Amino acid sequence: MVKIDDDIRELRIRIAKMASISIDMIEKASEGLFSRKSELFDDVIKTDNLVDEIDNDIDKTVVKICAIRHPEAGDLRFILSCVKANVAIERVADNAVNIAEWGLKINKYPQLKPYIDLPKMRDIATEMVKDAVDSFLDRDVDKSREIIEKDEIVDNLEIQVIRELMTYIVEDAHNIKTALRLLYVARAYERIADQATNVAELAIFTATGEVVKHRRIKE
């Protein structure tokens, strides 16, 4: 007879798989932009359909578990949080697609500037997603708090990118289109970091019942 532990194990596997695919999408989209390998973008865009399929499967599994198993306490918090974590990870994949779509347009023109801060944003945001999903699955509160604090680093890098690209626009109006598209890429990384933060907040809720959404964690 299938037990609730088996159902939860299946949910964990699907969440982990969805996260792994989404992270790979970020890395491919970024490589396509930074190394000007536009052939990578098509694969990123196509893979989004697979993420959507897993997204739907997770939602159906959660409904089935709640209807049949009637979970309680910690199990209930985890199962319901999977729905929100699922949404956050799906949005990570969506932002990877956004990077790929903007990258297709950016790569058609000469590179505007060396990519310095955008790769930093990519690295931190990707690490945040990896760690957030691990902390969610492991119910690791301490790691979750560390992830949430990192979100400010990505925010500050985005501001730095905006300031730098504005100087290129001011210097030459012909730079406007490419500069704006790079700004959209920076925003995509910032949103990926935000989604990682959401998953980290869910990890804390799952482990402790504490709601930390919409407020900064203080020492």
Q: What is the pLDDT of residues 39-52, one digit of tens each?
A: 999 999 999 999 99
The pLDDT tens digits of the residues spanning 51-87 come to 999 999 999 988 888 888 777 777 888 998 999 999 9
In the chain, the domains with their CATH numbers are 4-208 (1.20.58.220)
Band of pLDDT at residue 6, cut at 50, 70 and 90: confident
Q: Which helix (H) or strand (E) holds 117?
A: helix 117-138
- Spatial separation of the C-alpha atoms in residues 213 and 51, rounded to whole Å: 25
Predicted model pTM: 0.92
Are 136 and 15 spatial neighbours (Cβ–Cβ below 8 Å)?
Answer: yes
Asked if residue 26 lies in contact with residue 126, where contact means CB atoms within 8 angstroms, the answer is yes
SS3 139: coil
Q: What percent of the chain has pLDDT over 70?
A: 95
- pLDDT per position as a tens digit, 145-162: 999 999 999 999 999 999
Which DSSP helix (H) or strand (E) runs through 37? none
* Helix, coil or strand: residue 112: coil
